[in-house]
A and B are shown apart, each in its own frame.
Chain A
């Protein structure tokens, strides 16, 4: 179990390398989906079942679906993939090499192994004054976004609206 979360973390980074080596967005979107799924796996492996399902639902089921449809509208005839362009393949291989070096560095030396600490999301939080009232931290975190963290929610919602607004304003026809 300890290794599963670590391997999912490494594959998460490999997915990021897959789209940051800049193939066409069709393939980049696929890489994002893989990374999103593995990210959900990392969160679930650390014990946060609610937050992992939120990632799947909102990120993959909401954002990536919209992203996929917009890519499908704006795609080109011969999309660039990892094998079709030497630059993209080179960037992917360099990224993979850096990841391998990082893993080798992680397992060398006497320092504490990072990436092997898991289980931080399954804690229980004490709620209520009389004791014996426990609530899971990730559930109550999601709920407190609407109570204590209302200002955060307002700002996050406002910024999502303004980001879409700016995207439309920037890509408007300009003449």
Chain B
């Protein structure tokens, strides 16, 4: 895209999220969400094929519907309470409708159907922005207003998200769809802990964003989008193949990597609140996620599939993609577990 146009669009994307995160008035928060949605459309349509256009259209339809529901919830809240503050939506109709609208924007079940289709239809970089940056604004609103919602809705949506994220990703060979189902599953974990300890939601969001950014950047650097090209990655960059393995294990929540930290703290918090069956179900369903990550690791690092001999010796071109932030991100996404006592600075 034209650099001037791209800078305008990215500036407005940044401004939209910042306006939503900084606002205490519902109208400005809604305005920031609309800014995000509108400026995401040309980013999703950067490539010129009809698949991207279809993905951008689906994204626009679902997010516009969620914005409309949110506006209706705001108006109902204004009608019954007379004020626009985000933290005090005491009318249950308004707060639950706003909850469902924000869950649609996040892509958590049962409003998750757009996430795999939109993520698959676009390139890796817009998909990365979709799954990481676009989660910040709705979660910042949920963080503020979740105390007055019906918590059964939050638990139901969270559990369904973990189930659907686990089972949906099992039959996939395209990496973008696998990452989309992983996003759905992580949103489920973030939603469930929200009524108990919202700080852990933010911790899970931070670590999830670091992990997803690392994986997307590894995939962008090696031009892999499906499992078949993943099997040839060992020849191009063996170092990144190993990094992909450790980052995927971290995404699945395996100790001693960073991804274990939010899951451990969340299960700890849930059991402290005398809830045993739910964290048990969540932990077991996280194993489904771990299965397809293990499948990716198996095909990328642990096995070399049968191929002809000339495919084992590819010519190494110079890498033109910048990898400036990748070492930092990979280090952060793998080795943060000993720093767990530092989460008190998130409070």
Contacts and interface: CB of A to CB of B under 8 A. Distances in A.
Task: Tell me, yes or no, whether A binds B.
Answer: yes
Interface of A: 152, 155, 158-159, 162-163, 165-166, 169-170, 174-175
B42 A170 contact: yes
Contacts of B28: 152, 155
B22 to A, nearest CB: 11
Interface string B41-72: 11001001000000010000000000000000
B227 interface: no
Contact of A170 (B15, B35, B41): B41
Contacts of B35: 159, 162
Contacts of B31: 155, 159
A163 B34 CA distance: 11
Nearest to A173: B48
B85 interface: no
Given A155-B28, A159-B35, A162-B9, 12 more contacts: A152-B28, A155-B31, A158-B12, A158-B15, A159-B12, A159-B34, A159-B38, A165-B5, A165-B8, A169-B1, A170-B41, A170-B42
A166 B48 contact: no
Given A159-B31, A159-B38, A166 B9 contact: yes
A46 to B, nearest CB: 15
Contacts, number: 36
**Main secondary structure on chain B at its contact with chain A?**
helix
12 contacts: A152-B28, A155-B28, A155-B31, A158-B15, A159-B31, A162-B12, A162-B38, A163-B38, A165-B9, A169-B9, A170-B41, A174-B48
B19 A166 contact: no
A170 B31 CA distance: 21
A155 B19 contact: yes
Contacts of A169: 1, 5, 9, 42
A170 B28 CA distance: 26
Interface in B1-50: 1, 5, 8-9, 12, 15, 19, 28, 31, 34-35, 38-39, 41-42, 45, 48
